[in-house]
């Protein structure tokens, strides 16, 4: 029976190996994100990859706990800005690029050709809970390697000191774009005063899990006939125990509205807002994520 893409992450843990992971498939949500934009194929795939990574990494946050934001910026790159974020199941992604320079690159430009000298910032904004002020963590890594996925792997080891393996597969045709994503990590074992074992890429438990995970191919990630539960079982069925939990369903996360922009503009003084108004007295606000323009009249 063909699986329907549920646009939801699946969480899993392997207690005996101190490992946790996520897998996700994006279909209708991804096409809602991409549809408002006339992206060339290379940019469309990059936006799709970023949205999938945001869903994988963001779903590691507890529900309603906060927001994950990924932002890639370049110095003279074809991709001028790439942003994706996740908040309580809502995902969005957007890219701004130089169309003329992209056309000179051919059909499959490399990550280096797209970004030049670029950097990836990953930020976790945790919602204040139990009377605290919340927490904000940010790590920045160079956009190096063959893909955005590889840059995210580097972020986790360099900034978080957590060995991580991530795979993303993308397929697009006349019916739209869909992706499959997989992430697995070695959990922290070290306590205060002890060696941080989880920072070792050659730890036996991590070697075992990562070798199995490396066998996962793009066809399996995208296979509609292979459920995500069966995918995890195929990889780790010999383990003592694998715990699986469905995460919050995903949706397109553009949070733009007239009311939202009114709240944003309320932070400005009347003189500043007067300078923003057009000849009709409106303040025109563009939302890059959904390619819509809002006229704020008061």
Give pLDDT < 50 ranges for the chain.
Answer: 1-4, 130-132, 190-198
Domains in the chain, please, with CATH?
Answer: 9-255 (3.55.30.10), 256-298 (3.90.1280.10)
- Per-residue model confidence as pLDDT tens digits over 19-45: 999 999 999 999 999 988 889 999 999
Structure tokens at 189: 């074992």
pLDDT (0 to 100) of residue 75: 82
Report the interhelical angle of 41-58 vs 148-155 (nearest 10°). Answer: 30
Q: How far is CA 222 from CA 31, 170, 231, in A?
A: 15, 8, 10
- 214 near 165, Cβ under 8 Å? yes
Residue written as token pair 């006229």 = 295
pLDDT (0 to 100) of residue 127: 66
Cα 36 to Cα 33: distance, rounded to the nearest angstrom: 7
pLDDT (0 to 100) of residue 295: 76
- Per-residue model confidence as pLDDT tens digits over 76-119: 889 999 999 999 899 999 999 999 999 988 888 888 889 988 89
Q: Which of 173, 64, 32, 71 is nearest to 129 (CA)?
A: 64
- Enumerate residues 6+ apart whose C-beta is below 8 A from 297: 281, 282
pLDDT (0 to 100) of residue 191: 38
User: β-strands 243-246, 9-14: how paired?
Assistant: antiparallel
């Amino acid at each position: 029976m063909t699986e329907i893409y549920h646009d939801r992450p699946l969480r899993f843990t392997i207690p005996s190996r101190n490992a946790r992971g996520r897998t996700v498939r994006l279909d209708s949500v991804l096409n809602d994100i991409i549809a408002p934009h006339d992206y060339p194929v290379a940019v469309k795939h990059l936006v799709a990859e970023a949205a999938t990574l945001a869903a994988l990494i963001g779903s590691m946050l507890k529900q309603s706990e906060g927001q994950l934001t990924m932002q890639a910026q370049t110095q003279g790159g074809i991709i001028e800005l790439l942003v994706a974020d996740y908040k309580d199941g809502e995902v969005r992604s957007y890219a701004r690029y130089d169309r003329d320079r992209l056309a000179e690159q051919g059909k499959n430009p490399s990550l280096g050709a797209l970004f030049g000298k670029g950097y990836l910032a990953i930020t976790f904004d945790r919602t204040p809970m139990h009377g605290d002020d919340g927490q904000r963590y940010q790590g920045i890594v160079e956009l190096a390697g063959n893909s955005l996925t590889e840059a995210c792997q580097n972020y986790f080891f360099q900034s978080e000191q957590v060995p991580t393996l991530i795979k993303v597969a993308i397929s697009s045709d006349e019916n739209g774009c869909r992706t499959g994503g997989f992430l697995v990590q070695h959990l922290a074992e070290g306590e205060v005063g002890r060696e941080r074992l989880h920072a070792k890429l050659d730890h036996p438990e991590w070697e075992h899990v990562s070798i199995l995970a490396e066998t996962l191919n793009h066809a399996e990630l995208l296979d509609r006939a292979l459920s995500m539960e069966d995918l995890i079982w195929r990889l780790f069925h010999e383990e003592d125990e694998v715990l699986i939990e469905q995460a919050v369903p995903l949706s397109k996360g553009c949070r733009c509205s007239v009311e939202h922009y009114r709240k944003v503009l309320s932070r400005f003084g009347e003189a500043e807002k007067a300078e923003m108004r057009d000849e009709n007295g409106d303040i025109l606000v563009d939302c890059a994520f959904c390619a819509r323009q809002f006229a704020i009249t008061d």
